[in-house]
Structure 1
Amino acid sequence: MEDLSSHKVETGQYQQVKGISIYYGLLPAQIAAKHPATHEERIMHGGVPPGKNAYHLIVALYDVSGKRITDAEISATVGEFGMAGTRKILEPMQIGETKSFGNYFLLRRSGLYRIAIEVHRLGKQKTEAFEALFDYRLQ
């Protein structure tokens, strides 16, 4: 991993690192739970966790030309600011014609959360790895 001592932390939902545009969304998991039982969004990532504290983290990556990147391994660590977080692999998600990455995380109370998204690019002569840091405020 690169030295993160001078790494910029974003409070928005977009960041560009090493020419890669990283977008994320964090939605209540209850939205996916409203789909029919056989709907792909309802069964992905092992199923929608019960309870109001579950959130679905979705990440999309684009290269400098604006083409969506689908050949990456992505993980995320989500936790309350200043506390250890939970690290999970973000699984590939095919929704319609687009491919993103995601997984469910528990956000138990209102406050500031740190989201660290780690990306490993595949299919290159040398594997590229980098991290993007975001701060997210849960109301």
Structure 2
Amino acid sequence: MAVRAWLRSSGVLIAMMLAIGTAMANDGYQKAGGLAVYLGIVPAPVVRGHPSGHPESTMHGGPGTAPHQQHLVVAVFDDQTGARVQNASVSATISGLGHVGQQTIQLEPMKIENTITYGGFVTLSGNDRYAIAVEITVPGRSRPISVTFSSDHVQ
């Protein structure tokens, strides 16, 4: 009887943890200033796994070997038309909530399958919740658009 009660309460606790984790997780999509912005984070070893002749193996100078290196990928669309924005200047400022300091990187345009996304490598050095502020400057617009994502990084 006690085992059954323990299993039932453990199941409820696990369900609550999953619900809280899902609610706290950022979904990688934001809208601002007429743009729809998507953020993806891919571990650098995935990129390092491409064959040497593959274009992704050398983008942004190639993935380094630092531990906990990630590849940030940002796709930008016009929110009204759905057209991909392919002529923007995109940067990301990454700061950990538990770490002092921040790093800003310019995300380079990447042409893959005839579409443009923006990307770059960054090291998330510790277990932390990181804020990733993406700034997008589109020619012809009077000011940059900023969106902020969050990501938990666990080593």
Q: TM-score, length-normalised on structure 2?
A: 0.78
Structure 2 counterpart of 1:20, one-letter code: L
**Residues 28 and 52 in structure 1, CA contact (< 8 A), matched pair in contact too:** no
1:21 aligns with 2:36: yes
1:59 aligns with 2:79: no
- Structure 2: gaps (5+ residues): 1-24
Residue 72 of structure 1 corresponds to: 88
Q: CA deviation at 1:39?
A: 1.1
Superposed structure 1 runs of 4+ greater than 4 Å apart: none
Alignment of 1:123-134 (within 5 A): 124=140, 126-134=141-149
**CA RMSD, aligned part only?**
1.4
Residue 152 of structure 2 corresponds to: 137
Alignment of 1:25-40 (within 5 A): 25-40=40-55
Aligned length, in residue pairs: 128
Residues of 1 paired with 2:73 and 2:142: CA distance? 23
Q: CA deviation at 1:109?
A: 1.5
Match of 2:148, SS state, is strand
Alignment of 1:57-136 (within 5 A): 57-63=72-78, 64-81=80-97, 83-122=100-139, 124=140, 126-136=141-151
**Residues 48 and 57 in structure 2, CA contact (< 8 A), matched pair in contact too:** yes
Identity %: 31
Structure 2 counterpart of 1:18, one-letter code: G
1:100-133 deviations in Å (ceiling 9; x for gaps): 00000000122200100001011x1x44312111
Residues of 2 paired with 1:79 and 1:54: CA distance? 14
Structure whose residues are more often strand by fraction: 1
Residues of 2 paired with 1:81 and 1:95: CA distance? 33
Residues of 1 paired with 2:101 and 2:66: CA distance? 22
